[in-house]
Amino acid sequence: MSKESWEPETEYIIQKFECQECNYTEEVPTHCGKPMRLKDGRLICWMGPDCESSDIPEHHGKPLKIIQ
């Protein structure tokens, strides 16, 4: 993965996740003490993708809907 500069832009902030199929909601996971951000369809640590980057959580086998 190419190293890119990272700024924790406010546009990457997400509030929570919602299931597309049921009423399930999930809090945004934290990393390094703050909520993770969303960029290019992945969860990224607010410190940057070099710290942590993970897939969107799933429910009923589908990625959760992102509420921004």
**Closest distance between Zn ion and the C-beta of residue 22, in Å?**
4
- Find the binding residues for Zn ion in span 24-53 (CB under 5 A): 24, 31-32, 45, 47, 51-52
CA distance 33 to 19: 25
**Closest distance between Zn ion and the C-beta of residue 4, in Å?**
16
Length of the chain: 68
**Distances from the Cα of 49 to the Cαs of 5, 13, 40, in angstroms?**
10, 14, 11
Q: Which residues bind Zn ion (CB under 5 A)?
A: 19, 21-22, 24, 31-32, 45, 47, 51-52, 59-60
